[in-house]
Amino acid sequence: MSNANSLRAIAIHLPQFHPIPENDSWWGKGFTEWTNVAKARPLFKGHYQPHLPSALGFYDLRLPEVREAQADLARAHGIFGFCYYHYWFNGRRLLERPVNEILASKRPDFPFCLCWANENWTRRWDGKESEILLGQTYSAEDDRKHVQSLLPAFTDERYIRINGRPVFLFYRASNIPDPRRAVENWRKAAKDLGIGELYLCCVESDRKDHGMSNAWGFDAAVEFAPDSTNLPRRLRKGKHWGVWRRLGLGNRAFGLNEIYDYEEAAARIIAKPSPSYLRYRCVMPSWDNSARRRSNAYIFRNATPQAYENWLAEIVRSFQPPTADENLVFINAWNEWAEGNHLEPCHRWGYQYLESTRRALASVS
């Protein structure tokens, strides 16, 4: 029996497309994600940079018209909802305005959930990961306050649920000193506040998070693409390539960055054995974060709408939801422009990634 028509595709959504005081202070007045996007340059022959938006332009997420246009595009191409990154630092929130306004205005009428990006805010984007701008701290009291702050979202009629339970993702559960206790705290706080049961997911974004969802008390895991623990051999790596580079015959970019073949990466991720626990699959349109990093960027060459469509179609064919409601598939991402990773139309590919998404989601009947 086909599961394609019952799958709910959730696209991960980055809200950093509007200025905030913290970014003004840390990166310069008016900084948004577009700042990095616009300054990107190709590093080698055939390297697709910069990624420039077409249909929606260099938008500002403070505008309700932009948020409506994003939802309209996603809905028209088979995407069920957005998963917005959520930034909470012991009671302090960043980049919260778009979701706050979505909650207050009840627009757009489009399903959504949240993923807590529980990492320290650092200068990683310019290669200075050790310089912490805003750090994470954890406590039972903070867990309670955090859940309470999310009451307007969890009780919103558009919020994505599984068997009536609001879906919430922890991006890096392994950063929490005692993840299992934190999960227990969250569940108790939700019940005490009248929210009821939560459906909590552990994103497998780091090696330490893989295979831990059951042990930590999560309901499910969410695969993260690219899976850095399961990548193919880097392009042009090895002793012969090192000699060529020293002779000036090789492009320095291949030595300074992690460059892989997109289709090889997709094949390896598709072929991962099924785990003993519930893991929602994830695909990516492409990946190239050289717009953010001067070196040590991850770049996946040969990413095309057709290769992405093949990957997503295979996931659609193979994933069998254990229950009718546990039917999610994640797409990373809707608008990670500075990671070269977006479904939103760009000058090179236009609407092709969105059209590939629609076809892949309907590929099994």
Residue 284 to residue 331: CA distance in whole angstroms: 6
At 364 the pLDDT is 66
Q: Tell me: domain 4-361, CATH 3.20.20.80, correct?
A: yes
Instruction: Centre a 10 Å sphere on the Cβ of residue 163 and count the other Cβ atoms it contains.
Output: 11
At 256 the pLDDT is 87
Cis peptide leading into residue 321 (ω within 30°): no
Q: Which residues pair with 71 in a beta bridge?
A: none
Burial level of 161, CB count in 10 A (0-12/13-18/19+)? middle
* Residues 224-270 pLDDT 10s: 999 988 888 888 654 444 544 454 434 788 888 999 999 999 999 99
At 124 the pLDDT is 59
Cis peptide leading into residue 333 (ω within 30°): yes
Residue 79 to residue 42: CA distance in whole angstroms: 31
Q: Where are the domains of the chain?
A: 4-361
Residue 20 to residue 27: CA distance in whole angstroms: 11
Residue 284 to residue 225: CA distance in whole angstroms: 6
Position of tokens 């948004």? 32
- Which parts of the chain register pLDDT below 70? 1-5, 124-130, 236-250, 364-365
Residue 166 to residue 297: CA distance in whole angstroms: 35
At 186 the pLDDT is 98
